[in-house]
Chains A and B, each alone.
Chain A
Amino acid sequence: MSNGTLIVGGSQAGLQVAVSLRQLGDTSPIILVGEEDHQPYQRPPLSKEFLAGEAALDSLAFRTPDFYADSGIDLVCGERVSEVSLSTSGPPGSGVAMTASGRELPFNRLALTVGAGARRLPLPGADLGGICYLREYNDAADLRTQLSTATNVVVVGGGFIGLEVASAARSLGRSVTVVEAAERLMARSVGTVISEFYRQAHLRRGIDVRLSSAVSGFQGEHGRVTGVTLSDGARLPADLVLVAVGVLPRTELAEQLGLMCDQGIVVDAHARTSDPSVVAAGDCTVQPHPITGQGRVRLESVQNAVAQAQVAAATLLGRLDTVMSVPWFWSYQGDLRLQIAGLAAGYDTQVVRGDPADEHFSVLYYRHDRLLAVDAVNRPADYMTVRKALGQGASIAPDRAADPDIPLRSLVGGPAPAAPAVQRAEA
C-alpha cells in the first residue's frame, strides 16, 4: 500500500490541500488529521453569525460527511499529531507521524496546515471562570452560552475578533467595554482614518472603547471573574471577559523537523518550507509579500489559506506554479462591513473617498503614487474595484479617487509605476 499524503491540521488550508490534490488528478491516498472532534468547518462566522445565533455547527461544515468518502480523503478527527520525523533513507519528503493516542501515520508527502492558537495573557487571575478565548468551535459555543447570561462584558484586544464579538455582545444588550493596548483600534490591519472611524462608530452604538490601556490583572470571587484591572489602576466590572490579543502560529512540529521558523513556518512563494519536500500553508506560515515578493509577511486570512493551499498541492505534485494573489480580508462588526484588498504596509499617502460620518466610505493607500490597498466601509464596489485593479497590476489615479461621485472603476488605468523596494512589510 502506498502511503500517500499526510495533511496535518483539519483547517481551511488543510481541507483545501486535499481538495486541490484531487482536482489536480492525484489518486494516491490522502489522510487529513485534525485535533478537533468536528469535521473541518468555517471559522470566520464564529465571531459573527454564530454568536448572533444565526448559524449552527452543521451550517459551518465545509463539506458533507459523504464528500470525504466519495473523494477518497481519509478524514481523521479528534487526533493530534504530536511527533513527526522525515525518513533518512526513503524518498525525499517521506516519513512517519505519531498521534498523541499512539497512532502511527506513515507518509510519502507532508503538508503542515496546523494554524495558530490564541495568544494567552499570563496575568494574575487569568485562570478564573468567565475568561474566554475564541479560536475554535468549542470556544465559540462556550462564549455563546456565557453571553446569554452575562451583564458586563470586557473585551481585551481591539482587533477584528475583539470588535466583532463586542458588536455581537452589544446587539444582545450587554454592557460592553473594549480595552486596547495600542493607541488605536485594529492597528495591525487598517490605517489611522479607519481606526478612528471605528472608535467613534462603536461609541455611537454604546460600546465603551479604552485605548492605550493595558490590562494588569483580573479579580474574581468563588473562582469566577468579577473585574478587570487596568495598568492605570482603573477597575472595570466584568462577569465575562474575552481575551482577543492575536495568535501564535503553531510551529512545534516544524521545529521538530528542523524547519526554519520566524514567528511562523517560513515558506517560499511555492509554499515550500526550508526543506523543499515539505509544504506548509495558512495561518501557521510566514511568506514573501504576495505582490512584491519581498520581505516576510504572515497573512491570517481565508483568502491566504485557500490560495496558499492550492499552491502547496501543486508543489507536492511537482508543479511549481507562479501565482500572484491579491490578499483580501473582511470584518463585519454588526452593520459595519469592512472589506480590505491589498496590503497597505509602507503607504505614504491615503485618499479618503466619501464621508466617514455617513458610515459609507473607503480609504485608498498609495506609495509613490502606486496603489497598494483599500479599506472599504459599507462600500463593496470600491473594495472589489481595487481588488481587481491590483490583480491586473493596474492603478487608480489618486487625485480623482477622492471624489465619491466618480465611480472608481472609471479611474482604473494602465500599469502602476514600478514600486521602489519595500524594506519591510507586515501583515
Chain B
Amino acid sequence: MGTLSKVIYIDSAGREYAVDATVGDTVMATAVKNGVPGIVAECGGNCSCATCHVWVSDEFAPVVGPPNDMEEDLLDMGVSERRGTSRLSCQIRITAALDGLRVEIPPEQP
C-alpha cells in the first residue's frame, strides 16, 4: 500500500463518505472500490463515459487544476450540469497535496 490520503465525497442528499485513498490512485477508483454510490465509472477510467463527474470544492479547485483536453470535450457534451469546478474524477490522481479533498457527486450521471 502507498501513502494514505483522505477524500471526502458528498452525495446529492448531503451525505458524506470519508474514504482513505492511496496516493497515485484516482478519485474515481477510490470511490468505486469502496462502494461510494453515484460515481458509476463504466469505462474504468479511460475518459470514455463521463459517468464519474464530480464538482470539486472551491478550496481544492486550484490544487486539482483544470480538465485536460479530452476530458474537456466529454465534460462539455457529456454531463448533466457542468459547473466551474466540474472534473471527471478518473482524471484526478490523488497526491499528498490533496489530503482532505472534498468533491460533490451530482444527482445523476449520464
Please give the number of chain A residues whose Cβ is less than 8 angstroms from any Cβ of chain B in the complex: 30
Q: Interface digits, B68-102 against A, CB 8 Å rule (1 contact, 0 not)?
A: 00100110111000000000000000000000000
Pick from B6-14, B38-46, B54-62 the stretch touching chain A. Answer: B38-46
Please give the number of chain B residues whose Cβ is less than 8 angstroms from any Cβ of chain A in the complex: 22
Taking the nearest CB of chain B, how far is it from the CB of A281, in angstroms?
14
Taking the nearest CB of chain B, how far is it from the CB of A104, in angstroms?
30
Among B33, B47, B70, B74, the most chain A Cβ lie within 10 Å of the Cβ of B33
Chain A residues with CB below 8 A from B48, complex form? 328, 330, 339, 380, 383
B52 located at the interface, meaning its Cβ lies under 8 Å from any Cβ of chain A in the complex: no
Q: A59-B25, A71-B35 are in contact. Are A44 and B77 (CB under 8 A)?
A: no
User: Which of the residues B34, B37, B43, B110 comes within 8 Å of A330, measured between beta carbons?
Assistant: B43
Among B29, B37, B77, the most chain A Cβ lie within 10 Å of the Cβ of B77
Closest to B48 in A: A330
Chain B residues with CB below 8 A from A388, complex form? 77-78, 110
A63 located at the interface, meaning its Cβ lies under 8 Å from any Cβ of chain B in the complex: yes
Chain B residues with CB below 8 A from A303, complex form? 42, 49
Asked if residues B77 and A62 are in contact (CB atoms below 8 Å), the reply is no
B23 located at the interface, meaning its Cβ lies under 8 Å from any Cβ of chain A in the complex: no
Chain B residues with CB below 8 A from A64, complex form? 33-34
Taking the nearest CB of chain B, how far is it from the CB of A189, in angstroms?
15
Asked if residues A44 and B74 are in contact (CB atoms below 8 Å), the reply is no
Asked if residues A381 and B33 are in contact (CB atoms below 8 Å), the reply is no
B18 located at the interface, meaning its Cβ lies under 8 Å from any Cβ of chain A in the complex: no
Chain B residues with CB below 8 A from A339, complex form? 48
Taking the nearest CB of chain A, how far is it from the CB of B12, in angstroms?
15
Q: A59-B29, A67-B33 are in contact. Are A384 and B43 (CB under 8 A)?
A: no
Q: A44-B46, A45-B44, A330-B46 are in contact. Are A409 and B32 (CB under 8 A)?
A: no
Question: Considering the chains assembled together, what is the distance between the CA atoms of A339 and B77 in angstroms?
Answer: 14
User: Which of the residues B32, B35, B73 comes within 8 Å of A70, measured between beta carbons?
Assistant: B35
Sort A-B residue pairs by CB-CB distance and give the 8 closest, nearest first.
A381-B73, A384-B77, A380-B73, A42-B44, A330-B48, A384-B78, A67-B35, A64-B33
B-side interface residues toward A, CB under 8 Å?
A: 25, 29, 32-35, 37, 42-44, 46-50, 70, 73-74, 76-78, 110
**Can you pick out 11 interface pairs between chain A and chain B where the beta carbons lie within 8 Å of each other?**
A62-B32, A63-B34, A64-B33, A67-B33, A67-B34, A302-B42, A330-B46, A380-B73, A384-B74, A388-B110, A391-B110
